[in-house]
A and B are shown apart, each in its own frame.
Chain A
Amino acid sequence: MKWHRISAMFLRHIYLYRHSLTRLVEIFYWPLLDLLVWGFVSIYLSRLSSEGKNTTNFLGLFLGALILWDILFRSQQGISVSFLEEVWARNFLNLFVSSLTIGEYLFSLMLVSVFKVALVIMISSLLAWVLYSFNLFILGISLLPFVLNLVMLGWAIGLLTTALILRFGQQAEVLAWGVAFLFQPLSAVFYPVSVLPRFLQKLAMFIPASYVFEGMRAVIFGRGISLEQLARAFLLNLIYLSLSLFFFFRMFKSVRAKGLLGRMGE
């Protein structure tokens, strides 16, 4: 073993952090999110136990939440990772020198996203049933608006991250995996919004996914869903999706002007 070779390899990785803010931020980002999410889960569990609700359907609460979260995550990845696949394959230019329009391209990514989500629902629900006897379809017809809202939010996040990758290049590709999780603590995936501190509860009102997960818990606890809350989630999603599309088109125009589109695919 030679120290100069080991130190050369160590330096090779440390230099990366000097030139990439995203890599540096990532070191703090994941522990912080884990701490937030699992901290709030712990508060929720201790609250349930102090209220003597030991018969709560924890399996349904957590497996249902996990599957629904995966729907959001996969729909976002259906957009941003499918886009990255073209960049990694250096195929990006081939697409945009054809008569393919941006609208057609985005629509095709949304179809990929729906395809991925359909597979996630099929596989996850089957595995949850076989391994844990948990039936996702106890959520009944409410599963449809839940999935629709999560997919729409996934698309909005996917378009936002893709636009940023388009602008800042591959150094921003970590966003494709990280941005959705930024919304996780406020989406109240594994705990109710009431567990959050008051100022975060106010922010959660602007996250459509929080209404979906609250709705899921309401169905599991046998309380039924609030149509008003689902409508609010849908409206927020429409606004976010429109803003993301606007942002994407603006960014695409700017990237063309800066001559970055050509560099993206080479």
Chain B
Amino acid sequence: MTEAGLPLLVVNKLCKSYNSFQAVKCVSFDLYPGEILGLLGPNGAGKTTIIHMLLGLTSPTSGEIRIFGLNPEKAREREKILSRMNFSSSYVAMPYSLTIRESLHVFARLYGVKKARAKVDMLIEQFELKEVANRPVRTLSSGQMTRLNLAKSFVNDPDILLLDEPTASLDPDIADRTRKYLLEVKKSRNMAILYTSHNMQEMEEISDRLLFIHHGEIIAGGTPEELIARFRGEDLEDVFLKVAREVRP
């Protein structure tokens, strides 16, 4: 068991190649309880491949992943890991013929949540989905869909949450409230969050630490302030542009 203060997730020299193409070039990093770690990088940098390897969707070519001290490449350990993790992406949807309530109930059962109905009611309330709770998922706006995805990712009260551009389709008001909610649960539940976004202002606001990934490599890491200083940028957006255009610190 992982003790408080030790990393929940440790990635060591993780590589992924597709034939001769190296999508991820032996990256190493860790994630601590109560921390939001942002993955930054242009499209095709390797962020999604890293997330997919952490979730067990893609097998690594080499390297090591330890989550809660367990190895996700081993089937039995993977089951234990995934029951304490969750994931949300704006590119993933939910069963479109089911209502919001039914969808969340399916996932509550899938994660073996006790008192599933009460949990679903709480999530519906929390993510402001009450008015549309009995509507089929296919009728939801993209903002409502994103909120449903986020609600699903909290169904098992995860210790680690992986969020791939979770606020991409939200209006500024809901996006702001979502960030505040994430910061609140991170603090209250000591939750570790791995976060990707192309909204630099958001990354600056929410992340405790950032990793810049480019061409499958981590080329820089640190707090938003440290990165801005190291790249001599005006803000994180400026840093992002410099990194995407191949400028190194």
Q: Which A residues are closer than 8 A to B by beta carbons?
A: 85-86, 88-91, 93-101, 253, 256-259, 261-262, 265-266
Contacts and interface: CB of A to CB of B under 8 A. Distances in A.
20 contacts: A89-B95, A89-B96, A89-B137, A90-B91, A93-B87, A97-B55, A97-B162, A98-B82, A99-B80, A99-B83, A101-B75, A101-B79, A256-B56, A256-B57, A256-B58, A257-B58, A257-B59, A259-B16, A261-B52, A261-B58
Contact of B89 (A93, A101, A253, A256): A93
A89 B93 contact: yes
Given A90-B93, A97-B82, A99-B80, A259 B75 contact: no
B57 A93 contact: yes
A259 B152 CA distance: 24
Among B49, B85, B89, B92: residue with most chain A CB under 10 A: B92
A83 to B, nearest CB: 13
Nearest to B96: A89
Q: Interface size class for chain B?
A: 35 or more
Nearest to A256: B59
Interface in B63-115: 75, 78-83, 85-87, 89, 91-97, 107, 110-111
Contacts of A262: 48-49, 52, 57-58
A239 to B, nearest CB: 26
Interface of B: 16, 18, 23, 48-49, 52, 55-59, 75, 78-83, 85-87, 89, 91-97, 107, 110-111, 137, 152, 162
A97 B57 contact: yes
Nearest to A253: B59
Among B85, B93, B96, B107: residue with most chain A CB under 10 A: B93
Contact of B79 (A88, A91, A99): A99
A85 B137 CA distance: 14
Contacts of A86: 95
Given A98-B111, A99-B82, A266 B57 contact: no
B160 to A, nearest CB: 11
A91 B59 contact: no
Nearest to A265: B92
Given A94-B94, A266-B92, 4 more contacts: A93-B87, A97-B162, A99-B82, A262-B58
Contacts of A90: 91-93
Contacts of A94: 87, 92, 94, 107, 152
B93 to A, nearest CB: 4
A93 B18 CA distance: 21
B23 A259 contact: yes
A97 B87 contact: yes
Contacts of B52: 259, 261-262
B55 to A, nearest CB: 5
Contacts of A93: 57, 87, 89, 92
Contacts of B162: 97
A101 B79 CA distance: 7
A265 B149 CA distance: 14
A77 B162 CA distance: 34
A266 B89 contact: yes
Sort A-B residue pairs by CB-CB distance and give the 3 closest, nearest first: A90-B93, A262-B52, A99-B82
A219 to B, nearest CB: 40
Contacts of A100: 110
A98 B162 CA distance: 12
Nearest to B103: A91
Contact of A98 (B23, B94, B97, B107): B107
Contacts of B55: 96-97
A85 B80 contact: no
A256 to B, nearest CB: 5
Contacts of A253: 59
Contact of B18 (A97, A99, A259, A261): A259
